């Protein structure tokens, strides 16, 4: 049995805390928003996970120290924009040797750091302690994991022993966990596939067909892989669960906030209003600044990513942008 602290009480944090508790682990859950903990403590249900009861064995706490102290493993299950502040909040309560697992998907705009990079940047500044960093990523919507539907995910860490530990803690009969040493590649896929999912949703919103979405997802993965290889990531990462697997589910499922936001934009809604209509974080929009900066730094073409930016931040007509993509110079596929 492991002692686990889950930071974040959204749908993903709640689904994972439930799964960990049912796996027999001593599980505590904390949120930077106390009202989220109050709501769960009162009903033991999450408003966005209909019909899923939260085990009463989970310690629901508003005390960050209680969620982190003496834990073997800490799970960061928050929106990407909240990771740095949360790491600052819990920094005094963490101890040397803990495994810190990010399940957030994004990149920080000004530093270009991944989620584990942000946590490392905060926690190890001016301290002697050292932590083990891992990411858990793949085609796993919280709504389905919370219902124990068969799913698969990747535990990524540069240290194989740590990846094996994370694999052991999370794996059960409905969650198959694979290992990877390509931490950067897994996190890069998790961040940038959300941008492509916005484009896939926009294509649906504009009334385009399956051909369009299949082409978009395939070429979107190709441009993410081009960037990843320039950054030193392993090529097989992009062909696996964290890569094409997560891309497929995020670009085709109505559980996907990114795809749903894209659908609204494709139907003519302003991007800002589309995000407000979703009512939850749309990570693809948050990832755009870092994606554009990385493309410039590594001199890699990301035509679909730039097209999404042109619509979301440049106010361009989605149909015009699609036409521009279709009329790009002729190329070989590989």
Handedness of CA 79, 83, 84, 86 (dihedral sign): positive
Quote the crossing angle between the two packed helices 183-205 and 257-266, to the nearest 10°: 30
Q: State the Cα–Cα distance between residues 317 and 175, nearest whole angstrom.
A: 41
As a whole number of angstroms, the distance between CA 200 and CA 259 comes to 6
Q: Which residues are catalytic?
A: 193
């Amino acid at each position: 049995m492991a002692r686990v602290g889950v930071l974040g009480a959204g749908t993903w944090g709640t689904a994972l805390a439930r799964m960990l508790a049912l796996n027999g682990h001593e599980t505590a859950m904390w949120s930077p928003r106390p009202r989220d903990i109050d709501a769960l403590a009162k009903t033991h249900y999450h408003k966005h996970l209909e019909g899923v009861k939260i085990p009463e064995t989970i310690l629901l706490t508003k005390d960050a120290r209680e969620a982190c102290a003496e834990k073997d493993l800490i799970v960061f299950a928050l929106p990407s924009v909240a990771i740095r502040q949360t790491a600052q909040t819990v920094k005094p309560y963490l101890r040397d040797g803990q495994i810190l697992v990010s399940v957030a998907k994004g990149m920080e705009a000004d530093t270009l750091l991944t989620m584990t990079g942000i946590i490392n940047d905060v926690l190890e500044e001016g301290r002697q302690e050292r932590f083990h960093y891992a990411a858990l990523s793949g085609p796993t919507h919280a709504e389905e994991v919370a219902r124990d539907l068969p799913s698969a995910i990747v535990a990524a860490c540069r240290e194989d022993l740590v990846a094996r530990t994370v694999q052991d803690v999370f794996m059960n009969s409905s969650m198959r966990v694979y290992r990877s040493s390509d931490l950067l590649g897994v996190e890069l896929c998790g961040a940038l596939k959300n941008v492509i999912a916005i484009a896939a949703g926009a294509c649906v919103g504009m009334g385009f067909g399956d051909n369009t979405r299949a082409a978009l997802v395939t070429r979107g993965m190709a441009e993410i892989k081009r960037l990843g290889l320039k950054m030193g990531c392993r090529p097989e990462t992009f062909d696996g669960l964290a890569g094409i697997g997560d891309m497929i589910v995020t670009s085709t499922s109505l559980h996907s906030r990114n795809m749903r936001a894209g659908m609204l934009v494709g139907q003519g809604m302003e991007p800002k209003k589309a995000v407000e209509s979703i009512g939850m974080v749309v990570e693809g929009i948050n990832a755009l600044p870092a994606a554009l900066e990385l493309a410039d730094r590594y001199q890699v073409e990301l035509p679909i990513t730039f097209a999404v930016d042109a619509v979301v931040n440049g106010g361009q007509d989605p149909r015009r942008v699609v036409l521009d993509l279709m009329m790009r110079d002729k190329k070989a596929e590989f």
